[in-house]
Structure 1
Amino acid sequence: MTATPTVREAPWRSRNGLDLPDRVPRADREEWRARGLCPDADLFTLFRRHALAAPDREALVDERGTLSYRELYAEVLRVAGLFAEAGLGARDVVALRLPNGRLAAAAELAVYALGAVALPYPLGGGVRDTRSLLARSRAGGAVLSEPADLEAAAGLPYLRAVFTTAPGATGGVRRIGTAGPATAFRPADPPAEATAPARLLVSSGSETEPKMVAYAHQAMAGGRAAYLRALTGPPAGPPRLLVLVPLASSYGSLGVPVGLAALGATLIVRERFDAADALRAVVRHRPTHLFGVPTMLRRMADLPRLPGEDTSSLRAVVSSGAALPASTALACRERFGVPVVTVYGSSDGVNCHTTAPAGDLAGTPDPAVAAFRIVRPDGSPAAVGEPGEIQARGPMSPLCYVAAPELDARYRTAGGWVRSGDLGALDAAGRLRVLGRLKSVVLRGGHTISPAEVEQELGADPRIAEAVCVPVPDEEFGERLCACVRPVPGAPAPDLAAVTAALAARGLERRKFPEYLLLLDRLPLRPTGKVCRRTATAWAVAALGGGTAPGATVRVNRGAGDFTHTG
């Protein structure tokens, strides 16, 4: 495969002047297309084919009921007609901040019907995300469900049309509704080139502002669809996907552009995550695959069984978004009786999975999704088994970062490889092992500690349901490591001595042991369902109070705001 730094002659440009160049060499894109790894069709065209071929197939299930492909297609055209009446069209960027449900799916597909670019982003991130994302993407339109977001969007440059689901919209804001008479709209055929941008994936990452990554139709319907096909296995009919994460998240992109448009699957969603509700959805709606982050899956597995509970429709439980603790994988296998698949990946075009979660094993990279290489600090290839930075490139690779050339310079090589920022190794069998973050470390008295490594070992402790390790400031050593854990329900909570004894038995070096243990009734979550490390750190600092001696176990009841010190 060529590694020349040649990119597309001219970047794609939006109606409002946003340039999105392709950072992958053109020769590589052409090779993937020639091998059939990147379809020559846009996402709306693919969705329309499914709607015409199987109009009565269930397309989407939410709290309001079920929509067939025929019904969803009609709703997509209705919403696209509203967008077009408001002056939106091809090459616009349209932001979408909506709860999971039929409108979120129809609105995203309607953007593709226009030949426009979708910018979905999850609820719960605050109005700063709205100001930042809409301004930097030069969005021409937005669909916003929260009044605070409508206020934040007022007066933003480039924004020509704003829609809301709230009644009584004023100030030029249009109401989009969730039903209504069809508006005459005839999509172009095709509405966009397969190589054009389709969706901007949003990831908070480690940047001060959320970063956006531009994906072409081909990357969504090619590499990302190949990943989902590999997960769902040989088809016994279209899969039924229960997606618990926000559809607007990077992980949630497997729902609308991939599950519905590319695969013709049935998409089952809930407006917000509740473990008991999610379990009832498994029983009632009979998904073949369950997608969630480890915290969600663990909370479902810990629930008492429902009367007559039948989860036999499931073929696999899929975990992504964070490292999967061994105890959570075991709890899910015991509860659901199916393989647990763990996915290593990111919004930057990195993806690998395994159906046998074990320690640091991420699986065998699939070149139809993304090829991997391990690179030394000097840029030379690492030997087999030698640790180095994980880099990826393939049919799933995005075009570029949005309005952030500094991120392209930092995270993309001249040959189009994505620098993951993760430490890993490829063994003799070609399997990828993830060894932690290159920069997410705790510095204790000159020693470097990887929180991910300690969390992996804590995840094997049968007394611990969830764990996250965070740094707390220390006058003597600069930082010390605090383990924030949620004990398994009904099991005696361990103290720090018991936890470190278990870590010692597993062979972890003593200098990496946590020096504080924070026992929590719940871990703080981000809108995507991942553990919020920033909040966990704030809780740890508040609980320890700056004067707690190392070796303490602190129990925290977040509901009451109480801190109880022991040890």
Structure 2
Amino acid sequence: MRGDMEWSSIPDLVRAAARRYADTEAVVDGRTRVSYAELGARVDRAAAACVARGIGLGDRVALWAPNSLDWIVAALGAVSAGAVLVPLNTRFKGAEAADVLRRSGARLLFVTGTFLGTSYVASLRRAAAEGTGTAGPLPGLPALEEVVVLADDAPADFRTWKDFLAGGEGVGRAALHARTAHLDGSSLSDIIFTSGTTGHPKGAMITHAQTLRTYEIWADLAGLRTRDRYLIVNPFFHTFGYKAGVIACLTRGATMIPQPVFNVDTALANIAAERITVLPGPPTLLQSLLDHPARDTHDLSALRLVVTGAAVVPLRLVERLRGELGVATVLTAYGLSEASGMVTMCRRGDEPAVIASTSGRAIPGTRVRVAGPAGTPVPAGTPGEVLVDGFTVMRGYYQDPAATAEALTPDGWLRTGDVGVLDAAGNLRITDRIKDMFIVGGFNAYPAEIEQLLGLHPDVADAAVIGVPDARLGEVGRAFVVRRAGAPLTADDLIAWSRREMANYKVPRSVEFVTELPRNASGKVVKGELRRGR
């Protein structure tokens, strides 16, 4: 890893990248191509506009939009003005977005116009109309003073992106540098609200130093290089997209190609046309690329690095990426928002079986242990809750001391809520969420483990398992399965196969075939929807 905290803040990193990689292509967004020098100038302009609008150190600035050059510029501009970034999930409905805006106290919002057929402005206006506030452009959000639409048109009481940027023309470079001089590593850089798949979203507070150190390590372990061409499909509102994407690229001078939504045809076209070398993403994304019938009509030969992460990463997925696509480096990792998005990572040179069956070892500067119900460590090979200690652990949940006390032990260890197993070498295997585990006749059943076993069946493309009530055993498994195209697999076939391949308590007692599993924008299966439909 280069040096020890080469940059003291994210604005320092942006300016250093603009100097060091000035002529290197920084972002490709459709027909727009900007160099690092140009990106630095755009970020300065956005920061100046934030300062001109009265955004001060520590003010929250929210961003509700899909991956794009404008997202990158708005986010880095806000942070360079000393603000704390609050990215909003693009899958949120208006009421969910309004809730996060209200709880974060955001003073400024950058929002997309229409995305996937939905007017985010109209959606937010409807939700905010239910409030009682009178200040600002939206009732019910009194702290929100201005809404900037990342488009050429905006409602009369909002502002266009172009008009917003023009408002900062009177703010000079000296004023910007004076502003960022007040930032240091301990300053908050962002509040990342959790996806909310298991409850009410909570805002994890992360600092500049945590962000910079974590993603310098990520870039080092992944082997990210200057002039790598990085297709960023992971959403920017998520740490995997923003920090393992934008921030990591800034540390190395890699080229960012943001893709606003995952579409396999678009991804294949981008990989071929832009000579993509780096493609992080969830296993489902990679599997769909491999299985696409037109894959062989695209030149994917430049692809050299894939990073993925999930409880279930089939060994044959790793083998196919290496064998069929010739990807030299395939790595798995594990992280969560409360730990700056990164806890463990495999290392280049690890065996395929280690990469597929584990999420690697603790990153430098952190410790991982697996604990029993009483919080005491359990032996290697024994499942328990994953606990994390080190520089990545959040400063707490924003304005939620009760939730913070529940998540952090008195001595600072983060309770992840994930069930995992450590092997003798320190490799972590995530087996499930504590809340997803169910008990079959006294045996703990971990859905992710059962899903991984089901994934070995040649006719199974995807699977999710939940526990359902059973009069005799208390709970049993129910599997939701996506069949491979044309497969004649029946529920009885799969249950019979499962009885041969896994312990009896793990065998699903019922199987429901579906065309796809419900997933959030981070690629995680939303098991709450499966439970509601059971």
Task: State the distance in 1 between where 2:475 and 2:336 align.
Answer: 28
Aligned to 2:343: 351
Aligned to 1:82: 49
Shift of 1:46: 0.8
Q: Flag the 1:501–1:178 CA change in 2: closer, same or farther, 3 A.
A: farther
Q: Report the more deviating stretch, 463-472 or 135-144.
A: 463-472
Number of residue pairs the alignment of both structures matches:
502
Cα deviations across residues 249-276 of structure 1 (Å, max 9, x unaligned)?
1321235652244333211111211011
Shift of 1:302: 0.9
Aligned mate of 2:74, from 95, 99, 107: 107
The question of whether the paired residues in 1 share the 8 Å contact of 2:203 and 2:397 is answered with: yes
Aligned mate of 1:227, from 213, 218, 221: 218
The question of whether the paired residues in 2 share the 8 Å contact of 1:213 and 1:401 is answered with: yes
Task: State the distance in 1 between where 2:169 and 2:359 align.
Answer: 47
The question of whether the paired residues in 2 share the 8 Å contact of 1:524 and 1:531 is answered with: yes
Could you tell me which amino acid in structure 2 is paired with residue 253 of structure 1?
Y
Shift of 1:395: 2.9
Query: What is the TM-score when the length of structure 1 is the normalising length?
Result: 0.81
The question of whether the paired residues in 1 share the 8 Å contact of 2:311 and 2:430 is answered with: no
Note if 1:529 corresponds to 2:523: yes
The question of whether the paired residues in 1 share the 8 Å contact of 2:26 and 2:255 is answered with: yes
**Unmatched 5+ stretches in structure 1:** 1-31, 542-567
Map 1:99-498; keep pairs closer than 5 Å: 99-145=66-112, 146-147=120-121, 148-153=123-128, 154-155=138-139, 156-166=141-151, 168-170=153-155, 172-177=157-162, 183-185=169-171, 186=173, 187-189=176-178, 190-191=180-181, 192-232=183-223, 235=225, 237-255=226-244, 258-306=247-295, 308-320=297-309, 323-338=312-327, 339-349=329-339, 350-354=342-346, 356=352, 358=354, 360-368=357-365, 370-444=366-440, 448-472=444-468, 479-490=475-486, 492-498=487-493
Aligned to 1:14: none
Cα deviations across residues 398-447 of structure 1 (Å, max 9, x unaligned)?
22211221221111112221111222233322222333333312345665
Shift of 1:178: 9.8
The question of whether the paired residues in 2 share the 8 Å contact of 1:327 and 1:462 is answered with: no
Q: Report the more deviating stretch, 58-67 or 91-100.
A: 58-67
Shift of 1:169: 2.9
Q: Report the more deviating stretch, 257-266 or 39-48.
A: 257-266
Give the match's secondary structure for 2:335: strand
Percent sequence identity is 29
Shift of 1:56: 1.4
Could you tell me which amino acid in structure 2 is paired with residue 449 of structure 1?
A
Task: State the distance in 2 between where 1:504 and 1:220 align.
Answer: 46
Task: State the distance in 2 between where 1:114 and 1:387 align.
Answer: 45
Aligned mate of 1:44, from 11, 15, 18: 11
Could you tell me which amino acid in structure 2 is paired with residue 510 of structure 1?
N
Q: Flag the 1:383–1:533 CA change in 2: closer, same or farther, 3 A.
A: closer
Higher relative contact order by CA 8 Å / sep ≥ 6: 1 or 2?
1
Shift of 1:528: 2.7
Q: Flag the 1:327–1:473 CA change in 2: closer, same or farther, 3 A.
A: farther
Q: Flag the 1:239–1:150 CA change in 2: closer, same or farther, 3 A.
A: farther
Q: Report the more deviating stretch, 393-402 or 497-506.
A: 497-506
Task: State the distance in 2 between where 1:472 and 1:385 align.
Answer: 27
Give the match's secondary structure for 2:331: strand
Could you tell me which amino acid in structure 1 is paired with residue 344 of structure 2?
C
Give the match's secondary structure for 1:340: strand
Shift of 1:195: 1.4
Give the match's secondary structure for 1:292: coil
Give the match's secondary structure for 2:218: helix
Cα deviations across residues 312-343 of structure 1 (Å, max 9, x unaligned)?
21112221255323444344344422243222
Give the match's secondary structure for 1:291: coil
Task: State the distance in 2 between where 1:431 and 1:443 align.
Answer: 26
Task: State the distance in 2 between where 1:460 and 1:493 align.
Answer: 16
Q: Report the more deviating stretch, 157-166 or 98-107.
A: 157-166
Shift of 1:371: 2.0
Shift of 1:239: 2.9
Task: State the distance in 1 between where 2:124 and 2:377 align.
Answer: 47
Task: State the distance in 2 between where 1:143 and 1:212 align.
Answer: 18
Q: Flag the 1:299–1:43 CA change in 2: closer, same or farther, 3 A.
A: same
Give the match's secondary structure for 1:429: coil
Q: Flag the 1:475–1:502 CA change in 2: closer, same or farther, 3 A.
A: closer
Cα deviations across residues 33-53 of structure 1 (Å, max 9, x unaligned)?
xx9654551001111111012
The question of whether the paired residues in 2 share the 8 Å contact of 1:411 and 1:418 is answered with: yes
Give the match's secondary structure for 1:60: strand
